[in-house]
Every structure is written in C-alpha cells, then in structure tokens.
Amino acid sequence: MGGSGIIGKGKTVQNYDHVAAIEQDKEISSSVDEMKGLDDGGPFWRVPTGRRDGLISKSSEVISNIPPPFGNFTTLQTLFSNQGAHTIGIAHCSSFSNRLYNFTGTGDQDPALDSVYAANLKANKCKNINDNTTKVEMDPGSRNTFDLSYYTLALKRRGLFESDAFLTTNSDALSMINQLLQGSLDFYPECAKSMEKMGMINVKTGSNGEIRKRCAFVNIARAKYHGILVVIALCS
C-alpha cells in the first residue's frame, strides 16, 4: 500500500518541539489519526501516532517473520495471526515458478494450480524456471484495487502462491472465505480490525527505539565526514 511519502511530508513540516516532548514522556502518544488504503479503494482504520521505530533494520528479520509463498496452513495460521495477508501487489516468478516447472523435483506442475492459469503463466510471464526478474500480479486484474477478487481466485485454484492453495484446505478458513464472498462477513471492517491488531505487534515503549523526525531516517544516524554530510537511511 502507498502513502509513506505523504506521511514523510507530514513529519517534515510538523513541530519538532512537539516530537521532543513526546520523546521525553517515553510513552506512546494516545492520539490517533485516520488512515486508509489511499488510492487502492481500501478501508479506513485507526492508527496510533507517536510510534517509536527501531534503530536498525535487518533483511534477515523480515524473511524469517513474514509468511513464505510456500507455507502450509499451519505456517500461515502462525504467521498470519501476527502479520496480516495480501490482496494487492506483485511477485517475481522465482516466488512460485516451482509450481509451474518442478513441483516435486521431477519436472512436474502443481496439481493444485488451475491448469489453464498455469499454461497462461508459462506462455506469457514465467517462460522458464530460471526467470528471477519478471513480475506477476498476485491478484490478476485488480492488483491496485482493494477488493475480494483474491478470494474468488483462490476458490478457482488460481492463487499465485502455494500458500494461497493451502488456504482453502482448512475448513475454518474456507468457511470464512465463503462468508466474505457471500457478504455475511464484511470484508472492510474485518480487514481494518486485522490491521489494527497487526499495528500492536512488538510495540516499542520507554527508551526502546526512537520517534523519528523523518520516517526513512534514524535521528542519530547523521555525521559529517570530511565535510560531507553522510545520512544512513534505514526503513523499518
């Protein structure tokens, strides 16, 4: 989802004295703002402000804490309960090409993947198993729109990842998918609740981390070296 640029601009023009006052309190501000999925048609949810960010960012921590594209339902249940899900975006062929060309190591195709969809991917997108650069829509036809088409595609066995196929193998998950598609569960409020829950994971308090003056930069990571201002950019 977009919006980081808008947040950055807002923090750039805000009163730094106010930021310092929040830091001195060493607590998360109780004030809240309204955020939404900006231009993707997504829902609104409440986001606490005055959040503290870490002082370092490690790619290894990202890889080990997000649901992998090959995760089975048990893995998804563990990680999605902490992290969320996807309904928009793109992926590289390397995330799922084994489903097209070498699913069990014998040059076969994943039988859980719709054969027509697989043939289309082979012909027009991932033309060989070594393609690491081509990008494919995770939600074909509406990759920039926040909607329910992901679930419709999952039921048609047209989920891009192996993890998408696993989602329909659990009776509780399958029941929830059907409820969302039939309207007995409202997708937007359910998603908003999930995002608010995700925002409370590993919240930093006290002296742990800092409130950044600019979202993409650590406050203390500025130093002059031979007359040149060196800025270390770390994204949390």
Q: What share of the chain is helix, strand, coil (3-state, %, to 5)?
A: 40, 15, 45
Annotated binding-site residue? 12: no
Annotated binding-site residue? 53: no
Residue 83 Cα distances to 16, 28, 86, 94, angstroms: 31, 21, 10, 22
Annotated binding-site residue? 226: no
- Residue entry with tokens 């040059």: 107
Annotated binding-site residue? 68: no
Cβ burial, residue 132 (10 Å; 0-12/13-18/19+): exposed
Q: CB count, 10 Å around CB of 100?
A: 23
Please tell me the distance from the alpha carbon of residue 91 to that of residue 59, in angstroms, as a whole number: 17
Annotated binding-site residue? 169: no
Please tell me the distance from the alpha carbon of residue 150 to that of residue 143, in angstroms, as a whole number: 9
Q: Which residues are annotated as a binding site?
A: 67, 86-87, 139, 147
Q: Which residues are annotated as a binding site for heme b?
A: 86
Q: Which residues are annotated as a binding site for Ca(2+)?
A: 87, 139, 147
Q: Which residues are annotated as a binding site for substrate?
A: 67
